[in-house]
Amino acid sequence: MEELVGLREGSSGKPVTLQELWGPCPRIRRGIRGGLEWLKERLFRAREDWYFLVALGVLMALISYAMNFAIGRVVRAHKWLYREVGDGHLLRYLSWTVYPVALLSFSSGFSQSITPFSGGSGLPELKTMLSGVVLENYLDIKNFGAKVVGLSCTLATGSTIFLGKVGPFVHLSVMISAYLGRVRAKAVGDTE
Q: What tens digit of pLDDT does each residue of 103-152 get?
A: 989 988 988 888 887 777 788 888 888 888 888 888 888 888 889 998 89
DSSP letters of 70-84? HHHHHHHHHHHHHHH
Distance in angstroms (rounded) separating the CA atoms of residues 148 and 67 = 8
pLDDT at residue number 121: 78
41/104: higher pLDDT: 104
Most confident of 20-34, 58-72, 137-151, 152-166: 58-72
Distance in angstroms (rounded) separating the CA atoms of residues 154 and 94 = 18
Please report, to the nearest 10 degrees, the dihedral formed by the alpha carbons of residues 113, 192, 186, 55 taken in order: 70
171/4: higher pLDDT: 171
Cα Rg of the chain (Å, integer): 23
Q: Is the pLDDT of residue 85 over 80?
A: yes
Residue partners of 189: CB distance under 8 A and separation at least 6 = none
98/24: higher pLDDT: 98
pLDDT at residue number 192: 52
pLDDT at residue number 63: 94
Q: What angle do CA 94, 98, 99 make, to 5 degrees?
A: 115
How confident is residue 1, by pLDDT bands cut at 50, 70 and 90?
A: very low
What is the overall mean pLDDT for the chain? 80
Distance in angstroms (rounded) separating the CA atoms of residues 123 and 136 = 16
Extents of the domains making up the chain: 4-40, 48-188
pTM, entire model: 0.69
Inter-residue contact 163 to 152 (CB < 8 Å):
no
The candidate with the shortest Cα–Cα distance to 43, out of 189, 191, 180, is: 180
The fraction of the chain above a pLDDT of 70, given in percent, is 79
What are the φ/ψ torsions at residue 16 (nearest 5 degrees)?
-105, 130
Inter-residue contact 165 to 151 (CB < 8 Å):
yes
